């Protein structure tokens, strides 16, 4: 094969794969699926798009080999194809957080208005009993994987379950990552009810990217 033909073929194939990342809805779908498999109906509901549009986006992601699908009864469940698919999305997300001013401004404004500033990083959590990790994702996502010793209270249940939380500890809430709003909502609710609360900047997946749960 001639050298120019070789290079054109390689970069054309890679460019074709990266087109799957060039849509806002598909990026949000990747973020959702990183936390556990979901049906097209669940994805449509959580991204506020129609089932037909969600299905089209999923087919693009599947063709790019970023997601896998399995059928169970009348439902088709979609999941990320593995660690490398999540790592690619995370790298793009982190690049935007570092270098895209609009992303930085929007994120800071939302958190300021939500009273969820400041946040903290996982490495900053003291190794003692002064804090409690609170996972506010849906229970099925918690079951798929969570940080050790974390308590699961989905955000929808939190207003009715505040009495389960210790008031002598700092509550550190986490969800699906920096663009998920569940932890912001949790921190705002906790602060309004007299708790010391912080948002964890990372997700379970960010902290455990290289764990054995991933198949590639």
- State pLDDT tens for residues 160-171: 999 999 999 999
Over residues 29-40, the mean pLDDT reads: 93
Number of domains in the chain: 2
Q: How far apart are the C-alpha atoms of 32 and 121, rounded to whole Å?
A: 21
Q: Looking at the domain assignment, is residue 92 inside a domain?
A: no
Residue 71: which CATH number?
Answer: 1.10.10.10
Confidence (pLDDT) at 210: 57
Nearest-10 Cα torsion for 30, 36, 133, 177: 0
| Letter string b/e over residues 109-146, b meaning 16 or more CB atoms within 10 A of that residue's CB | eebeeeebeebbebeebeeeeebbbbbbbbeebbebbb
Judge whether residue 195 has pLDDT over 90. yes
Same domain? For 114 and 70 the reply is: no
Catalytic residue among 33, 67, 134, 175: 175
Say if residue 73 is in the same domain as residue 112: no
Are 73 and 138 in a shared domain? no
If residue 157 lies in a helix (H) or strand (E), which one and from where to where? none
Asked if residue 151 belongs to a domain, the reply is yes
Nearest to 180 by CA among 205, 198, 203: 203
Do residues 118 and 165 share a domain? yes
Q: Which residues form the domain of 199?
A: 101-207
Residue 187 has pLDDT above 70, yes or no: yes
Domain shared by 53 and 109, yes or no:
no
pLDDT value, residue 212 = 45
- Known catalytic residue at 120: no
Q: Using one digit for the tens of pLDDT, what is the confidence trace for 54-87?
A: 999 999 999 999 999 999 988 899 999 988 999 9
Nearest alpha-carbon partner for 28 in 153, 176, 139 = 176
Residue at 37 is within a domain: yes
pTM equals 0.86
């Amino acid at each position: 094969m001639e050298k120019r033909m070789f290079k054109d073929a390689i970069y054309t194939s890679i460019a074709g794969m990266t087109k799957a990342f060039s849509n806002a809805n598909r990026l949000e779908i990747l973020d959702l699926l990183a936390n556990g498999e979901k049906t097209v109906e669940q994805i449509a509901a959580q991204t506020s798009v129609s089932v037909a549009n969600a299905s089209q986006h999923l087919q693009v992601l599947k063709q790019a080999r970023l997601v896998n699908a399995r059928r169970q009864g009348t439902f088709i469940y979609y999941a990320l194809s593995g660690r490398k698919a999540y790592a690619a999305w995370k790298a793009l997300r982190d690049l935007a957080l570092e270098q895209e001013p609009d992303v930085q401004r929007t994120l800071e404004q939302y958190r300021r208005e939500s009273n969820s500033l400041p946040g903290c990083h996982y490495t900053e959590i003291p190794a003692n009993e002064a804090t409690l990790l609170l996972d506010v994702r849906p229970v099925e996502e918690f079951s798929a994987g969570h940080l050790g010793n974390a308590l699961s209270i989905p955000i929808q249940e939190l207003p009715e379950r505040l009495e389960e939380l210790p008031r002598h500890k700092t509550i550190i809430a986490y969800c699906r990552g920096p663009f998920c709003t569940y932890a912001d909502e949790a921190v705002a609710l906790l602060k309004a009810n007299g708790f010391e609360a912080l948002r964890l900047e990372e997700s379970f997946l960010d902290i455990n990217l290289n764990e054995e749960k991933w198949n590639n």
